[in-house]
Amino acid sequence: MTVEPSKVPVSISLYQDAVYELETAIETAAKAGYHSITTPIVHRKFQREFIDEPLKTLHSRFTRSDLLLTSSQWLNRVICQLSTDTDCDSELDEVRKRGEATIRQELSFAEHLVQNGVVLLPLRNGNCANLARLVTYGLKGTLLVGIPMVNPKSVQSTWRNDVDDDLPLEDTWTWWNNFRSYADFNSHVKVALEFTADIPSSKEISRWLGEPVDAIILSSNIFLTNAKNFPVLSKSHQELLVLFHRTLGCHFILKANPDDKHLSNYSDYMLHILRTNYVKDPMQGYDDLLEIPLQPLYDNLDSFTYEIFEKDPVKYILYQNAIEEALRDRVPTEELEERTSIIMVVGGGRGPLVRAALNASVKSKRKVKVYVIEKNPNAIVTLSALINELWKDRNVELISTDMREFEPPEKADILVSELLGSFGDNELSPECLDGAQKHLKPDGVSIPCKSTSYLNPCMTTNLYNQIRSLEKSPQSKDRVVTSKYMEGAYVAYLKNVYHIDDPLPVFEFVHPNRDPVIDNSRFKTLRFKAALDCVMHGFVGYFDSVLYKDIIISIHPFTHTKGMGSWFSMFFPLTEPIQVKRGQEIVVNFWRCVAAHKVWYEWNVTAPRQTHIHNVQGRGQPIWK
């Protein structure tokens, strides 16, 4: 779905290394198409003396007054940058202490100017433990940590003789990982990723998409000049620009000389590229939003939830096609007039599967009788109205009871349900269909007839921090209470995520289940391999389901049913992130546990390091029968 270009939100800030008149600089930037300016909070050549007694003549004045702008202007029109020429992690005490004093002074003034605003801190290397400790303690606003996409030394090594080509260059992602790890994954700390002339591998780019990248920094140096002498980006840089904006909604900071005659051309060009290539995500608004999985067997769903599901036409068309094909297979053409197929819709909701069954009857020209079994008394009201008003001439019978307790007067040819959930079996479809399959004829079919779950490890700082913020809420007083957040599963439309490896199959369920003893507990050990250094925050779960023959619905990323939006993926978090090195094996154990009144998942990692078993006995999140 395309969006009118002028309505695509894009924010660009103009970086100014030194600003003489703030208001003039803001006005000049605005005329050139920029929404704000980014500038050092203190002039880079200013020499400070930190002594016990401030000089009375200067009163410790080290930068311009906050009265030059209103509070709103400071907050919305200025991004303050901290000094880049300090070394808070120097082995020399004098250098380190001076760096500490400088950063404390600047950060204090920045928070005075823009409390809960944005501050930029360019990072020069991965030796930053003391710096991270200083700038993140008590942080209230957003700290943008400036990281180059490619190590600048890789460029220097092509023309400088003093750079040793044999020494491996440190990945700049490691700089960021060190900083945020020292800061204990502080949710206020985000990335300002600086595009470089060199572009890393697609895997490395994907890894950045799993990080909290809030801003993209571009230098005028990476722009090319076209035949008309206007600045343009290479095709690869254009694609990167669009990718980060579309996926993460980043804003932009452009570095250029204030005397550059193309200032307005840079902003116009970036707006053009971003707006003409923007495609609105139909799921926009659900991005990385945590939701607790539904338990429709235990809870009665509300009208709003039913309505959301009913807005997915793709799923019900596929169900209709599956029912139609099953009807054609079961009733030969010569028996059209005398044979009626019995369809049982178990879990009728507000009728979409009933509608699919009736439509399939018309298209296949096969007679049907539809039993609708629904336990939700509120949905019964809707179904009764539909039968009386829309389906009064159709052979539809409504039964208000639990599908497992229903005693039908006749056996079914086709049993239809949609109790799949994002992991395939997390809405207890195995237990429900095992209980309902007694209604089937010996040769009857179940739609769906098979479901498979899948799992892969992932890095998603965003989701991890959201869950951890629940642990730190006022009602979380102790570890017993807080464990339920980190040991539960969540439904989420993941965009800010890096998939460490491809998904592997976990559990499979076949319906009807003809095993002499039905056991829906499961155990599986999965092995993955990391292509890059990364941080593992948990696992993403998916499913696919065979409705009938070759008609399949899937949320597996490689086979996702086009246009289907009924299910988002599942996220199974780890209580503590795990640092993973390139080439390391990741081994996870996954259990599906079953008791008399509940079902639950347990999981743990045994490599690259061992973790405790999560959600033991369903303490974090049981699924009630």
Closest CA to 245 of 202, 280, 219, 291: 280
Question: How do strand 450-459 and strand 504-510 relate by DSSP bridges?
Answer: antiparallel
How many separate helices (H) and strands (E) can be counted in the chain?
16, 26
pLDDT band at 50 (very low <50, low <70, confident <90, very high): low
Residue with tokens 């998603």, as numbered in its chain: 460
Residue 307: Cβ within 10 Å count: 10
**477 confidence band (pLDDT: 50, 70, 90):** very low
What is the C-alpha to C-alpha distance for residues 288 and 537, in angstroms, rounded to an integer?
Answer: 14
Tens digits of per-residue pLDDT, 357-377? 999 999 999 999 999 999 999
Nearest to 43 by CA among 70, 16, 69, 24: 16
Identity of the residue numbered 132: A
Confidence bin at 344 (pLDDT 50/70/90): very high
Q: Is the pLDDT of residue 217 over 70?
A: yes
Predicted confidence (pLDDT) per residue in 182-212, tens digit: 999 999 999 999 999 999 999 999 999 999 9
Phi and psi based region of residue 568 (left: phi greater than 0; alpha: psi -120 to 50; beta: remaining): beta
Cα separation values, 533 from 27, 170, 578, Å: 44, 11, 11
DSSP secondary structure letters along 163-232: S-TTSPPPPHHHHHHHHHHHTTT-TTEEEEEEP-SS---HHHHHHHTTS-EEEEEEEGGG-EE-TTS-EE
Of the listed ranges 20-24, 33-37, 593-597, the least confidently predicted one is 20-24
Residue 78 structure tokens: 């200025």
Confidence of residue 595 (pLDDT cuts 50, 70, 90): very high
Residue 353 and residue 418: Cα distance in Å, rounded? 8
The verdict on pTM exceeding 0.85 is yes
Which parts of 326-408 are beta strand (E)? 340-346, 367-374, 396-400
Three state DSSP letters for 116-181: CCEEEEECCCCCCHHHHHHHHCCCCCEEEEEEECCCHHHHHCCCCCCCCCCCCCCCHHHHHHHHHH
Look at residue 36 and give its three-state secondary structure: strand
Mean pLDDT lowest among 287-291, 483-487, 601-605: 483-487
**3-to-277, 281, 531, 542 alpha-carbon distances in Å:** 10, 10, 36, 30
Decide if 427 is catalytic: yes
Q: How far is it, in rounded angstroms, from Cα 298 to Cα 476? A: 26
**21 given a catalytic annotation:** no
Q: What is the mean pLDDT of the chain?
A: 91
Position 162 scores a pLDDT of 45
DSSP symbol at 269: H
Is 618 within 8 Å of 591 (Cβ atoms)? Answer: no
> How confident is residue 1, by pLDDT bands cut at 50, 70 and 90?
very low
The CA distance from 539 to 580, in Å, is 14
Say which of 204, 418, 487, 602 is annotated catalytic.
Answer: 418
Least confident range of 72-86, 261-275, 597-611: 72-86
State pLDDT tens for residues 538-574: 999 999 999 999 999 999 999 999 999 999 999 999 9
Burial class (CB in 10 A: 0-12, 13-18, 19+), 337: exposed
CA triple 260-265-268, angle to 5 deg: 145
Name the β-bridge partners of 588.
526, 605
Tokens of 143: 């700290």
pLDDT in tens, 503-533: 999 999 999 999 999 999 999 999 999 999 9
| Residue 478: pLDDT over 50 | no
Which one is catalytic: 194, 427, 431, 602?
427
